Amino acid sequence: MKVIGIVGLPGSGKSEAAAVAEELDVPVVTMGDVIRRECEARGLDPTTHHGDVAQALREEGGPAAVADASLPVIEDALDGSEVVLVDGIRSDAEVERFEEAFGESFLLVNVHAPFEVRRERVGQRGRDATADEGGESLEERDRRELGFGMGEAIEAADLTIENTDTLESFHESVRDLLRGEAA
């Protein structure tokens, strides 16, 4: 059994890694979806209350509360698969919780691309409001995520996949990793 956690700064390629997992029928547990379900359980609209509920969970259950809420979902996914990918890790507290839960079976992977490359890709992605449109700039997003403990989570990674080449070559690197872990 292997639980692969993905970390990386905004726009580094985490969702692309998750998409490759789905293509290979590796279940993906998205921690953001766990928060969305918690919004629904509290009768709140996830489109407007996602951040508030994530914060409330952490206030009520400590800094690893979202990881705690994700554990049963990961356990379920492990029932039907040797490998499970976890997207949405934001802090070293969450990494520690997964290490406690899965021990040597937890592998933390950092997806890395330099700032300018990420900025260009996020600019082309189309789903992000730019700073001019009232959205957050990539500098601000980086700062916010680093504030949650993403820097420490990245430092704790067991390995780094560089995502500076083509999308196809990144997909190939992720496929190699997932196939290697499934073997």
Ligand X SMILES: Nc1ncnc2c1ncn2[C@@H]1O[C@H](COP(=O)(O)OP(=O)(O)OP(=O)(O)O)[C@@H](O)[C@H]1O
Tell me the binding residues for ATP.
8-15
Query: In angstroms, rounded to a whole number, what is the distance separating the alpha carbons of residues 21 and 101?
Result: 22
Q: Considering the rule CB under 6 A, would residue 148 count as an interface residue with ligand X?
A: no
Interacting positions 84-123 with ligand X (CB under 6 A): 121-122
Total residues contacting ligand X by CB under 6 A comes to 15
Of residues 15, 33, 100, the one with CA closest to residue 62 = 100
Question: x/- string (CB under 6 A) for ligand X, residues 7-36?
Answer: -x-xxxxxxx--------------------
Between residues 55 and 164, which has the closer beta carbon with respect to ligand X? 164
Q: Which is nearer to ligand X, 30 or 105 (CB)?
A: 30
Asked if 107 contacts 158 with a C-beta cutoff of 8 angstroms, the reply is yes
71: its two tokens = 């554990």
**Residue 153, CA atoms < 13 Å, CB-side half-sphere:** 32
149 contributes a contact to ligand X by CB under 6 A = no
When the beta carbons of 12 and 70 are compared against ligand X, the nearer one is 12
- Residue 165 φ/ψ region, left for φ over 0, alpha for ψ in the -120 to 50 degree band, beta for the rest: beta
Q: Is residue 137 involved in binding ligand X (CB under 6 A)?
A: no
Q: Which is nearer to ligand X, 84 or 113 (CB)?
A: 113
3-class DSSP state for residue 153?
helix
Is 47 an interacting residue with respect to ligand X (CB under 6 A)? Answer: no
Q: Going edge to edge, which strands form the sheet with 28-30?
A: 28-30, 83-87, 2-7, 106-112, 159-162
| Residue 166 in contact with ligand X, rule: CB under 6 A | yes
Closer to ligand X by Cβ: residue 5 or 13: 13
Q: In the structure encoding, which two tokens stand for residue 96, read together? A: 């520690």
Q: What does the binding site for ligand X look like in residue numbers (CB under 6 A)?
A: 8, 10-16, 121-122, 125, 163, 166-167, 170
